[in-house]
């Protein structure tokens, strides 16, 4: 997958007006950059991850991305989004390939709901399977998501 694929996966869920979003489990920022490509100037993105090295990579990548354009403000946050995070009134949350690391999804999804404004959006990017492996331990298929959401 490349940047265009990441943008395509998020495009229909991101409104064109300025907003404040979070990317939970941002890593090195593949979907943070896609979100930044879709949000207009005046927006803000919280990129949250517990891996400092990945966030350092994101910081460099975002500086290159934002150079010469009116990009959203980026707020990089070193935190475990399952525990350490206090953030609310978000217009949207992106969870791209991060929910599958959590065996119990309901508590995290309740936390995400508390982060969002009443009309906020959750954009979930996951593998369409319910069968885990060493790299994707607890995936959730679209069919299962449709039943529990």
Fold observed for domain 3-148: Rossmann fold (3.40.50)
What's the pLDDT score for residue 93? 97
Question: How sure is the predictor about 138, in pLDDT bands with cuts at 50, 70 and 90?
Answer: low
Residue 96 vs residue 30, higher pLDDT: 30
pLDDT for position 75 = 98
Q: Torsions phi, psi of 22, nearest 5? A: -130, 145
Sequence spans of domains, the chain: 3-148
Alpha carbon distance 61, 6 (integer Å): 15
* Residue 18 scores a pLDDT above 90: yes
**What is the pLDDT confidence band of residue 125, given thresholds at 50, 70 and 90?**
confident
pLDDT of residue 19: 98
Is the model's pLDDT at 72 over the cut of 80? Answer: yes
Specify the pLDDT at position 108.
83
Q: Is 2's pLDDT higher than 90?
A: yes
pLDDT of 140 higher than 90: no
pLDDT above 80 for 31 = yes
| pLDDT at res. 101 | 67
Whether the per-residue pLDDT at 83 is higher than 90: the answer is no
21-to-1, 106, 124, 139 alpha-carbon distances in Å: 22, 21, 13, 23
């Amino acid at each position: 997958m490349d940047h265009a694929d990441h943008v395509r996966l998020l495009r229909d869920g991101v409104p064109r007006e300025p907003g404040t979003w979070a990317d939970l489990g941002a890593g090195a920022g593949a979907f943070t950059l896609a979100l930044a490509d879709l949000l207009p100037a005046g927006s803000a993105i919280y990129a949250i991850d517990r891996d400092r090295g990945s966030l350092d990579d994101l910081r460099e990548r975002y500086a290159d991305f934002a150079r010469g354009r009116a990009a959203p403000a980026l707020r990089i946050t070193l935190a475990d989004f399952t525990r350490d995070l206090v953030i609310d009134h978000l217009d949207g949350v992106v969870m791209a390939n991060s929910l599958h690391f959590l065996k119990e999804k309901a508590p995290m999804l309740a936390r995400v709901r508390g982060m969002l404004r009443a009309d906020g959006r959750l954009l979930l990017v996951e593998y369409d399977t319910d069968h885990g492996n060493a790299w994707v331990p607890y995936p959730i298929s679209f069919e299962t998501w449709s039943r529990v959401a």
